[in-house]
């Protein structure tokens, strides 16, 4: 049978990585997830996800971080495409291709980003015309971070991270990321956080007013002073070398630093582009990190690219 989409042009969606400026974690809920108060920022490291007509469901991955991404039915982008097809009543499969430039298992939501991109790409490819809010609801079923990667910008996340409220943020922030060559498992980091806390019960957290004020003012030094991540000690516990990475970046002049999400990427805030170049050179020369990348935030969430890759 010929696909209803035979001859339709492939759709490519570009999606950013994220960093958590603040990640406050409560005690686990009955469903095992942890209540969060987090502030997400989308940053300019991108994956590109293409969907095109095919006679079977498939996913292929290329690019710098292709290794380590599953290409079977567990791939989150493929699951996103199949889920949206089921919801929308689309019967024809698509082939998904991921150009991976976001580190895998790095605490920067790489897999979640690809799922967000696949939703936006399939919506366009199948001409569903879904509202962003409808896409974000689909996204929440795929993972806690996925709705934010659809939305982008800077946002407050609550619930398990999937409930979003806009955060007023002025200006552009410059980031340097120290990336490890081996990822950390998100469930393992949450479990380690629980283990370190022992029996102490932690109430569902609230976003800190200081963080909101720093974002509103666009004051990078104020923001650097309030960066906070409750998963950081757990990431350090599982990967002790990360402490030295953080200390190295701060010693080299970063205004602030924090483990990104569940790690092991360490995110540093710097004054401007030039300071970012200096820090990236310093971190690379020190050998503190396998890979160092610079980015700015906030940037847009998953969006259709017009024409070929730029
Ligand atoms: O939602 P997502 O699939 O990204 O979550 C991956 C894992 O991270 C969950 O299975 C859970 O172990 C942990 N997690 C959590 N609390 C959250 C988000 C994630 O415990 N709020």
pLDDT tens-digit readout, 113-156:
999 999 999 999 999 999 999 999 999 999 999 999 999 999 99
Query: Of all atoms in ligand 1, which is nearest to the CA of residue 186?
Result: 8
| pLDDT over 60 at 5, yes or no | yes
Q: Summarize the confidence of residues 264-272 as an average pLDDT.
A: 98
Domain with CATH 3.30.70.890 in the chain: 173-297
Residue spans of alpha helices (H) in 35-184 = 76-88, 110-125, 132-142, 146-151
Rounded (to 5) percent helix, strand, coil in the chain: 35, 25, 40
Tell me the three-class secondary structure of 156-187, residue by residue: EEECCCCEEEECCCCCCEEEEEEECCCCCCHH
Does the C-beta of 145 come closer than 6 Å to ligand 1? yes
- pLDDT interval class at 307 (50, 70, 90): very low
Long-range contacts made by residues 284-290, C-beta under 8 angstroms, separation at least 24?
A: 286/248, 286/252, 288/178, 288/244, 288/245, 288/248, 288/249, 289/178, 289/179, 289/180, 289/245, 290/179, 290/180, 290/181
Q: Which of 235, 197, 228 is nearest to 211 (CA)?
A: 228
Residue of minimum CA distance from atom 2 in ligand 1: 143
Start-to-end CA distance of the chain, whole Å, equals: 36
Residue of minimum CA distance from atom 12 in ligand 1: 187
Residue partners of 256: CB distance under 8 A and separation at least 6: 223, 224, 225, 227, 250, 268, 269
Catalytic site residue from 48, 114, 123, 145: 145
| pLDDT over 80 at 257, yes or no | yes
Residues β-bridged to residue 142: none
Does the C-beta of 79 come closer than 6 Å to ligand 1? no
Mean of per-residue pLDDT scores for the chain? 95
pLDDT tens string 182-222: 999 999 999 999 999 998 889 889 999 999 999 999 999 99
Whether 208 is a known active-site residue: answer no
Query: Of all atoms in ligand 1, which is nearest to the CA of residue 25?
Result: 21
Please report the pLDDT score of residue 8 as a whole number.
Answer: 87
- pLDDT interval class at 6 (50, 70, 90): confident
Does the C-beta of 144 come closer than 6 Å to ligand 1? yes
Domain with CATH 3.30.230.10 in the chain: 11-168
Residues β-bridged to residue 18: 42
Residue of minimum CA distance from atom 21 in ligand 1: 160
**Topology of 11-168 in CATH?**
Ribosomal Protein S5; domain 2 (3.30.230)
Do residues 109 and 20 lie in contact, with contact meaning Cβ atoms separated by under 8 Å?
no
Residue of minimum CA distance from atom 20 in ligand 1: 33
| pLDDT over 80 at 1, yes or no | no
| pLDDT over 60 at 306, yes or no | no
Dmax (CA) of the chain:
63
Query: Of all atoms in ligand 1, which is nearest to the CA of residue 112?
Result: 4
Distance between CA atoms of residues 291 and 177, nearest Å: 8
| pLDDT over 80 at 308, yes or no | no
Q: At what angle do helices 76-88 and 132-142 cross, to 10 degrees?
A: 130
| pLDDT over 60 at 230, yes or no | yes
| pLDDT over 80 at 105, yes or no | no
Residue of minimum CA distance from atom 8 in ligand 1: 187
Whether 132 is a known active-site residue: answer no
Does the C-beta of 180 come closer than 6 Å to ligand 1? no
30 Cα–ligand 1 center, Å: 13
Pocket mutation for ligand 1, best pick of 30, 139, 187, 231 (most atoms within 8 Å of C-beta): 187
Lowest mean pLDDT across 242-256, 273-287, 294-308: 294-308
143 Cα–ligand 1 center, Å: 7
Is CATH 2.30.30.40 the right assignment for the domain spanning 173-297? Answer: no
pTM: 0.96
Residue partners of 30: CB distance under 8 A and separation at least 6: none
| pLDDT over 90 at 48, yes or no | yes
């Amino acid at each position: 049978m010929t696909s209803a989409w035979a001859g339709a042009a492939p759709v490519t969606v570009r999606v950013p990585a994220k960093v958590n400026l603040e990640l406050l974690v409560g005690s686990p809920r009955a469903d095992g997830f942890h209540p969060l108060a987090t502030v997400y920022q989308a940053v300019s490291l991108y994956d590109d996800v293409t969907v095109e007509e095919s006679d079977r469901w498939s996913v292929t991955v290329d690019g710098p971080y292709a290794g380590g991404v599953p290409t079977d039915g567990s791939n989150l982008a493929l699951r996103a495409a199949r889920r949206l097809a089921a919801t929308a009543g689309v019967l024809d499969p698509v082939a998904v291709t991921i150009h991976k430039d976001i580190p895998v298992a790095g605490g920067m939501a790489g897999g979640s980003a690809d799922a967000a991109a696949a939703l936006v790409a399939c919506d366009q490819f199948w001409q569903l015309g879904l509202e962003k809010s409808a896409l974000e609801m689909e996204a929440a079923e795929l993972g806690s971070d996925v709705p934010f990667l659809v939305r982008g910008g800077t946002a407050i996340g609550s619930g398990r991270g999937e409930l979003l409220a806009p955060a007023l943020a002025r200006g552009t922030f410059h980031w340097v990321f120290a990336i490890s060559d081996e990822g950390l498992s998100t469930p393992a980091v949450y479990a380690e956080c629980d283990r370190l806390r022992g029996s102490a019960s932690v109430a569902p957290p609230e976003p800190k007013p200081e963080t909101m004020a720093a974002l509103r003012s666009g004051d990078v030094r104020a923001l650097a002073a309030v960066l906070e991540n409750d998963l950081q000690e757990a990431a350090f516990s599982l990967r002790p070398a990360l402490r030295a990475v953080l200390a190295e970046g701060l010693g080299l002049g970063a205004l602030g630093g924090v483990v990104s999400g569940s790690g092991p990427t360490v995110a540093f805030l710097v004054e401007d582009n030039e300071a970012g170049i200096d820090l990236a050179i310093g971190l690379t020369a020190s050998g503190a990190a396998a890979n160092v990348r610079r980015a700015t935030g906030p940037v847009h969430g998953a969006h259709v690219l017009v024409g070929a890759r730029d």
